[in-house]
Amino acid sequence: MATSNDLLIKQRSFIEFLAAEGCSAANIHARMKTFYGEMCISDCAVLKWVIIFKGEDPRETILRDQKHSGRLLSASLTAHREKVDCMIRANQRVKQKEIANAVGISKERVHHIVTTVLGYRKVSARWVPRQLTVDMKAQRKDICTQLLELSTVFILA
pLDDT of residue 13: 85
Give the DSSP letter string of 15-55: HHHHHHHT--HHHHHHHHHHHHGGGPPPHHHHHHHHHHHHH
Domain boundaries, the chain: 4-60, 78-130
> What number is the average pLDDT over the span 136-140?
89
pLDDT band at residue 145 using 50, 70 and 90 as cut-offs: very high
Q: Tell me what the pLDDT averaged over the chain comes to.
A: 81
Q: Are 83 and 113 in contact (CB under 8 A)?
A: no
Fold of 78-130: Arc Repressor Mutant, subunit A (1.10.10)
User: Is residue 142's pLDDT more than 90?
Assistant: yes
Q: Which residue has the higher pLDDT, 125 or 26?
A: 26
* pLDDT beyond 70 at 1: no
- Of the ranges 25-29, 53-57, 130-134, which is most confident? 25-29
Taking the C-alpha atoms of residue 40 and residue 46, their distance in angstroms, rounded to an integer, is: 10
For the stretch 42-100, pLDDT in tens is: 888 888 888 887 776 555 556 565 665 665 555 567 888 889 999 999 998 899 999 99
